[in-house]
Structure 1
Amino acid sequence: MPVILVTGMSGVGKSTALIALQQRGYRVVDADYGGWIEDRPHPDGTGTEPQWCEQRIEALIADHEQSGEPLFIAGTVSNQVAFYPRFDEIVLLSAPIELLLDRIVRRDTNPFGKAAAERDRIMADTAEIEPLLRSAATVEIDTSRPLIDVVERLVSLAGPPSLPPH
């Protein structure tokens, strides 16, 4: 069964989509939570950045490939590119920047983006990083559409879940 990466910028709805998929019985991993990310040095030595714990992600995918059930992994980090060959689909969730910023201001599940400097970073990352994500994506889904439409499109990529719905 497929292993699907769900990626995109802050506020695009990755976590919300995963919650809806989990409620339908899919196995999901939101890599922003649960120790999947560690701060690692920049290649140029100018500090650190959050990246996936490669051994943990590798073990997750390898274990899951044996399970026969679909798996959705959500996250956006620079070293995710190392895992692109392991994903059956790379799904970019996208939305207009105004909508991203509005969602970030209103959300209460994640503090990132509340400060002006963080919102500036989100705008800069959207301009710089989103085109890179788009070039690697096998599918792009506009999350300005209703959540049910976004989830149905993700479900169509995965096939039926192996777990009973929650």
Structure 2
Amino acid sequence: MARVLVTGMSGAGKTTVLDELHRRGYFTVDTDYDGWELPDGTWDEPRMDELLASNENLIVSGTVDNQGRFYDRFDHVVLLSAPLAVLLQRVARRANPYGRTPEQRAEIAEYVRTVEPRLRRGATTELDGRRDVSELADTLEKLVRATN
């Protein structure tokens, strides 16, 4: 197995593909939930250190300012990307309320312009988030198996 980070913009499909991988029996952690992020929007570093130190087989998702500090502890950093129009369409209809206000939508557009290129530079693999979730999960499973 392997440690994999799935990252990308809001609406790229991180939670959806993690849910599918969890359904397939993988240990997954979506850092958007359960207190992984501190109020400043960064990961709780001691908690992330402990998670990575105690699990060799893990798929994590998230996009935070300090995630790069952990890249060397992941076997794969996978960027899920999609065009801005797709991201905005998805955030408008999902359960998570982020992305519904004009200000948040403008923030997402700015992040696509400024943050996504940094994520791309740090990624070991980029996947098109418009692909069917089962195809994305299959591709991530292949990465995990190839690491063994």
Give TM-score, length-normalised by structure 1: 0.86
User: Is the partner of 1:119 in helix, strand or coil?
Assistant: helix
Q: Whose Rg is larger? A: 1
Q: Distance in 2 between matches of 1:144 and 1:50?
A: 26
2:53 corresponds to = 62
1:78 corresponds to = 65
1:21 corresponds to = 21
Identity, in percent, stands at 45
**Post-superposition offset of 1:149:** 1.1
User: Is the partner of 1:131 in helix, strand or coil?
Assistant: helix
Does structure 1 residue 105 correspond to structure 2 residue 96? no
4+ aligned runs moved over 2 Å, structure 1: none
**Post-superposition offset of 1:159:** 2.3
Paired positions, count = 146
User: Is the partner of 2:34 in helix, strand or coil?
Assistant: coil
2:101 corresponds to = 115
2:132 corresponds to = 146
Greater fraction of residues in strand: 1
Q: Distance in 1 between matches of 2:133 and 2:41?
A: 28
Q: Deviations over 1:6-61 (max 9, x none)?
A: 0000000100000000000000000010111102xxxxxxxxx3000000000000
CA RMSD of aligned residues (A): 1.1
Task: List runs of 5+ in structure 1 lacking aligned partners.
Answer: 40-48, 161-166
**Post-superposition offset of 1:147:** 1.2
Does structure 1 residue 9 correspond to structure 2 residue 9? yes
For 1:121-132, what aligned pairs fall within 5 Å after superposition?
121-132=107-118
- Which residue identity lines up with residue 54 of structure 2 in the other structure? D
User: Is the partner of 1:78 in helix, strand or coil?
Assistant: coil
Does structure 1 residue 30 correspond to structure 2 residue 30? yes
